[in-house]
A = this chain, B = another copy of it.
Amino acid sequence: MEAVMNNVTIEKAKTSKIKDVDFDNLSFGSIYTDHMLVCDYKNGQWQAPKVVPYQPITLDPSSKIFHYGQSIFEGMKAYKDESGSVWLFRPLENFKRLNKSAKRMAMPELPESYFMDGLTTLLQVDSDWIPQSAGSSLYIRPFMFASGNGFHASPADEYKFIIALAPSGSYFSGKVKVLIEKQYSRAANGGVGFAKTGGNYAGQFYPTRLAAEKGYQQVIWTDDNNHEYIEEAGAMNVFVRINDMLLTAPTNDRILDGITRKSILDIAKDEGIKTEIRKVSVKEVVEAAKNGSLKEMFGAGTAAVVSPISAFGYEGVDYDLPELEDSYASLLKKRITDIQYNRAEDKFGWRHEVV
């Protein structure tokens, strides 16, 4: 049975898996809804997007995704408010970043209507899957990869853009202890660090595993040149509070331009919190930890939302962060999630209703 909504063809799944899902005990990104959006690029153009039953993808072994790493993705969430209305948070920012990533990875840019109409239609079809319980949300994973074939190191001639949905709980359970990295690096100057491409993640797994063996959940990456400045934490941007000043590194070609990051900066300003976007040296963070002026560190990202850091390790020493009653992290997390779940006024115009 096919239907059409917002110019998007819908092929409905014959049965639903929703009855098998325990919505009170969701992990992150491991259960998928009944449908997905698929859009194919071939003969030099994007074909019309379709909502189809969630299903396996079949590829030739010579498909370039297996060999040359042309893959990009986005992370978004859909929020259901108390009245059952469904909201997205700054979706056009994700769309723009997807195309920025696509350009850097020599992949075709996607038309805005295919992204927005496709996503909206998919969310409407699977709206029963959007959790309403606190701390849960529907994680949205738009991704694009090279599906064209050939063992020649050059861009593919065919691509697939897919949106899949995963009802999810928290990304981190509990507080996060991080290691400030001195040996390995995430990104090169003039490289692809700012793009949300698969290789940026795979490259972090081994150093992150080494850090995990020492008891750290995440690595804070520093510049690959001298490891002097804090860059980002791979799955999130990093904020540092010294006394009452909130600091974060400027984005550049090595650092992801996080949507949560820039929203946090706007909310902080709105709250009258002093912010500075500038290079943050490891040295000043260590000194601030030693002299007691380091009040907070936290990560910010779509999956992680705002994740307080409980301690950081550097050169074999662990530095604990204080537990604050009135932390910037809790204030900013409350403000941003209140906007996302439609529990507060949206003075920035960030909410986007899915109708």
> Chain A interface (Cβ within 8 Å of chain B)?
28-30, 32, 36, 54-63, 65-71, 73, 75, 103-106, 139, 141, 143, 145-146, 149-155, 162, 164, 166, 168, 171, 181, 183-192, 197-206, 208-209, 224-225, 227, 234-235
Partner of A30, one of B30, B75, B150: B150
Q: In the complex, what's the smallest C-beta–C-beta distance from A281 to chain B, in angstroms?
A: 18
Beyond A61-B162, A199-B200: 8 further Cβ-contacts under 8 Å? Answer: A28-B152, A30-B62, A56-B60, A65-B71, A66-B145, A104-B206, A183-B190, A186-B191
Partner of A61, one of B30, B57, B192: B57
Residues of B within 8 A of A68 (CB): 198, 201-202, 205
Inter-chain CA distance A198–B66, complex, in Å, is 7
Inter-chain CA distance A310–B275, complex, in Å, is 53
Residues of B within 8 A of A59 (CB): 56-57, 59
**What is the oligomeric copy number?**
2
Pair A206/B103 contact, Cβ less than 8 Å: yes
Inter-chain CA distance A32–B149, complex, in Å, is 11
Inter-chain CA distance A212–B63, complex, in Å, is 23
Pairs A–B under 8 Å by Cβ, sample size 13: A28-B151, A29-B152, A32-B61, A36-B61, A56-B58, A62-B141, A65-B66, A67-B73, A68-B198, A184-B191, A198-B198, A199-B199, A199-B202
Inter-chain CA distance A205–B104, complex, in Å, is 8
Residues of B within 8 A of A206 (CB): 103-106
Residue from A171, A191, A200 having most chain B Cβ neighbours under 10 A = A191
Inter-chain CA distance A166–B189, complex, in Å, is 36
Residues of B within 8 A of A65 (CB): 65-66, 71, 198
Q: Which residue of B lies closest to A32 (CB)?
A: B62
